[in-house]
Chains A and B, each alone.
Chain A
Amino acid sequence: MDLAFTPEELAFRDEIRTWVKDNLPADIAHKVHNAMRLTRDDMQRWAKILGKKGWLGWGWPTQFGGPGWGAVQKHLFEEECALAGAPRVVPFGPVMVAPVIMAFGNAEQQKRFLPGIASGEVWWSQGYSEPGAGSDLASLKTRAERVGDKYIVNGQKTWTTLGQYGEWIFCLVRTSNEGKPQTGISFLLIDMKSPGITVRPIKLLDGECEVNEVWFDNVEVPAENLVGEENKGWNYAKHLLAHERTNIADVNRAKRELERLKRIAKTEGVYDDLRFRDEIAKLEVDIVALEMLVLRVLSAEKSGKNSLDIAGLLKIRGSEIQQRYAELMMQAAGPFSLPSIFEAMDAGWQGNFPGGVLANAPLAGNYFNMRKTTIYGGSNEVQRNIVAQTVLG
């Protein structure tokens, strides 16, 4: 039992810290620290900087050009990036599809797709959810029919995060109606420039277009873009979930946002109001406890001695905490979180009004936006079913 990181781990952390400090563009960090709107260019600029260093695929093994880091090193890298104000890496390429291509794709697919993901050149999207397939994902209906050396894809995906920027999309598609719903699903890589694809951004309650609907109308996909075997896609998607590990908890970002909450509370004059301060204190304990839980998982991964099957707990707790800090930030600003000024989230906005600056205008929007966290990635109620299964059988 030991809480401290090893000297080697601490040296590694210092190396990362120095590199991030030297390479993270200040304008991007400023936006992240103040929760301003990030453009496509902001996100891709950082991705390419990481890509050039070989760290965009920071979880990748060396055989595919990754750094080959262990669980603790990956965590420290993520923590340093988050605390320094780096944007979250858009996960669909390097974190989600790449591990599937590595594990189940053929050599040709690996050669073709992995370099573009590792460098940050190619923007990937995820095509899982459908209007009729949310928590019950296996009921998805988007069809891929094999005709000669092609698949013809018809159907609709939805909630496609940042799909308006997507160049490629990995999809779960139905290739068979035989047997259980899970057994007729395949994993298909689709060029989003293909004729027949329509992407329509969905305006969300905060006024932002973060997600999209994606329609497939007789889209022709070369059969060589099938990953692994036909009708085995569900297994590959489950493999991907196993890769989500601890970053699903997002505890590093929570630590950064707790600092921001305290800054806002001080500015707004509620930090010394004990009723409000106690709410921050509760959140602080929640975040420390979540961090300890994450560290326990990392320790178990490192030693391989005890397996800790608590991904469901990390998702539930992490998402609740995200919602809580967003809610407290809004409450700290009180009525000054209410002005709905779209430009207020852009860097450089001069919000000077006769009564002063309206700098906290985006905080209600952020609160509204964060309601998604307990819904996406397997709703928290589905997660509770999974946790209960491990406890009760």
Chain B
Amino acid sequence: MDFDFSDEQEQLRDAVRKWVDKAYDFERRRAIVAAGGFDRAAYGEMAELGLTGLFVSEAHGGMGMGPNEAMVTLEELGRGIVLEPLAQTLIASATLQTHAPTALQAAWLSRMAEGTALVVLAHQERGARYQLQRCTTQATQSGGQWTLTGNKSLVAAGDQADAFIVPAMVNGSGGQASPEMGLFLVERNASGVRTQAYGTQDGSRAAEVAMNAAPGQLITLNGLSALEEAVDIGMACACAEAVGVMDKTLAITVEYMNTRKQFGVNIASFQALRHRVADMKMQLELGRSMSYYATLKLHAPAPERRRALARAKYQLGTSMRFIGQQAVQLHGGIAVTDEYIVSHYFKKLTQLDMTFGDTLHQLGEVSARMQDTAGVFA
């Protein structure tokens, strides 16, 4: 039991923080939002730091690191509310590396590591909410070639990505349980693929992706459990990112309270406000604790892992909602302007709650998975 970071992890944290502070300031971020919410150049800078290859083995030109390093990185990206979806790269590279045939790995992993190829998860459909087994996209095989037909929603940077990881039903029995789902890689430029992009509330970019007999390459026929793994990685990433966003949100709020004067004194002197800050600190530290928990449970057996990730994401969702709302209230009117930075942190916190399952969904998961005993180790 040890929650200290190694020297290498601290160095990684410093490197990412330096890049965020120096190269990704609020003005640059604002310009990226105005230009659509995704910047290839910024993504390339993350690649130069090695972040896009964090999970990619050294044999494929990556850093061969694990969940702890991902957590450190995402906390720092969260502090800067960076728009480019590194979590998607981590999910995609882990999924390919664990489940894809070697030829598919060879074709994509090194390019993903160097940042020249962006691969994202395209799993959400209208009406599926957060239920991973609800999938109507169909995959059919003919003459050794798979083709996919169906629509995916809210695909991160969907019109910028080079390829998608797509769950689809392989035997025509949509909506059924696990054995029938496959996971496929579909290239955005493939025939039959159409994307329609838009900005999302946090300033980043997403797209609807339509596939009409689009050619795909099989990653695995054990699709549901692979998708669950992928989403659990995404949940751990969202938790870590949330910690960074919350940490910075609280810091901004504290700084503001110690400079803003009303009734002739700093508003930080008012007890009614101080107690809100104490409660924010509580939610931050509970959230940080559960983010550690999420990351450290990623390698646990599936039932234990799924239960742990649901618990963690429920806590982080609760913490994010509270800290976001309190930060706005403590700032007063300035916080509901677009000009001031805290509104952007608030929107990011709100969107992260709904990323890979919101609090209500996660509560249902925790509730359904409860056992007689409970604790960190059960």
A→B interface (CB under 8 Å): 1-6, 9, 72, 255, 258-259, 262-263, 274, 277-278, 280-282, 284-285, 287-293, 295-296, 298-300, 302-303, 305-306, 310, 312-313, 316-317, 381, 383-385, 387-388, 390-393
Contact = CB atoms under 8 A, between A and B. Distances in A.
A388 B273 CA distance: 9
A182 B358 CA distance: 49
Interface residues of B, number: 45
B366 A296 contact: no
Given A280-B370, A292-B376, A392 B258 contact: yes
A25 to B, nearest CB: 23
Contact of B315 (A3, A9, A289, A300): A289
B278 interface: yes
Contacts of A278: 363-364, 367
Interface centre among B4, B68, B315, B375 (most CB of A within 10 A): B375
B266 to A, nearest CB: 9
Identify whether the interface residues of A are mostly helix, strand, loop, or mixed.
Answer: helix
B372 A3 contact: no
A258 B1 contact: no
B257 interface: yes
Contacts of B22: none
Closest 10 pairs (CB-CB, A-B): A292-B289, A388-B274, A281-B367, A384-B278, A387-B278, A3-B296, A299-B3, A281-B366, A388-B278, A289-B286
Interface in B278-296: 278-282, 285-286, 289-290, 292-293, 295-296
Given A1-B68, A288-B374, A296-B289, A305 B366 contact: no
Nearest to B271: A385
Given A274-B367, A392-B258, 18 more contacts: A1-B292, A2-B296, A3-B377, A4-B1, A255-B374, A278-B367, A280-B367, A284-B370, A287-B374, A296-B289, A298-B1, A310-B285, A387-B278, A387-B281, A388-B275, A388-B278, A391-B277, A392-B274
A392 B375 contact: no
A255 B274 contact: no
A393 B279 CA distance: 15
Nearest to A276: B367
B376 A3 contact: yes
A87 B375 CA distance: 20
Contacts of B79: none
Contact of B277 (A5, A259, A303, A392): A392
B374 A1 contact: no
A229 B11 CA distance: 48
18 contacts: A1-B5, A1-B68, A1-B292, A1-B296, A9-B1, A277-B367, A281-B363, A284-B374, A285-B311, A288-B376, A292-B289, A295-B1, A295-B3, A296-B292, A299-B3, A303-B2, A384-B279, A385-B275
